[in-house]
């Protein structure tokens, strides 16, 4: 069974290290999944690609993450939120309590979607 027609799936091969990330675009939300790469390399590549996703919401699904290696993603999140879009990290290894309130970490993809929906309602209401 394939993806619904409104979904677009792209795989970016990260040259120089045979690593990749998967990017799924659904309406105004990009779901970017860390594949075979460490968090440092993933963060660097994502920073380069951020221009492509700055006009919508972003969900990052991290497979390998440690709170002490998240500086680039925290900075990217702040930049993205200044553009009035959601930026949510999905990770079972990270805890929201380890970060400031403007960097959102949730344990499941469904919670990420719910969080974005809630933030969108707040933006629509001017909250």
Query: Cα separations (Å) of 61 from 16, 34, 66, 122, 127?
Result: 22, 6, 13, 24, 27
The sign of the dihedral angle between the CA atoms of 89, 21, 77, 16 is positive
Measured in residues, the chain has a length of 127
Q: What does the pLDDT look like over 58-90, one tens digit per residue? A: 999 998 777 667 889 999 999 999 999 999 999
Where residue 114 falls among pLDDT bands split at 50, 70, 90?
very high
Separation of first and last alpha carbons in the chain: 40
Query: Average of pLDDT values for 24-28?
Result: 88
Distance CA(52)–CA(49), nearest Å, equals 6
Q: What does the pLDDT look like over 11-20, one tens digit per residue? A: 443 333 345 7
Domain ranges of the chain: 7-65+73-94
pLDDT at residue 70, as a whole number: 87
**54, 83 contact by CB (below 8 A):** yes
- This prediction has a pTM of 0.82
Query: Cα separations (Å) of 85 from 5, 36, 62, 120, 124?
Result: 24, 27, 19, 8, 12
Phi, psi of 93 (to 5 degrees): -95, -20
User: Which CATH topology does 7-65+73-94 take?
Assistant: Transcription Regulator spoIIAA (3.30.750)
Q: Over 60: is that where the pLDDT of 4 sits?
A: no
pLDDT at residue 67, as a whole number: 66
pLDDT at residue 21, as a whole number: 82
Query: Average of pLDDT values for 101-121?
Result: 94
Q: Over 60: is that where the pLDDT of 1 sits?
A: no
Most confident of 10-14, 51-55, 88-92: 88-92
């Amino acid at each position: 069974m394939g993806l619904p027609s409104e979904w677009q799936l792209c795989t970016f091969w990260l040259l120089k290290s045979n690593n990749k990330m998967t990017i799924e675009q659904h309406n105004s939300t990009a779901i970017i999944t860390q594949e075979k790469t460490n968090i440092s390399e993933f963060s660097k590549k994502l920073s380069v690609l951020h221009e492509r996703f700055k006009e919508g919401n972003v969900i990052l699904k991290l497979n390998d993450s440690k709170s002490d290696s998240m500086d680039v993603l925290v900075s990217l999140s702040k930049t993205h939120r200044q553009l009035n879009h959601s930026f949510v990290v999905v990770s079972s290894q990270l805890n929201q309590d380890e970060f400031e309130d403007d960097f959102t970490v949730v344990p499941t993809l469904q919670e990420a979607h719910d969080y974005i929906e809630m933030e969108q309602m707040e933006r629509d209401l001017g909250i």
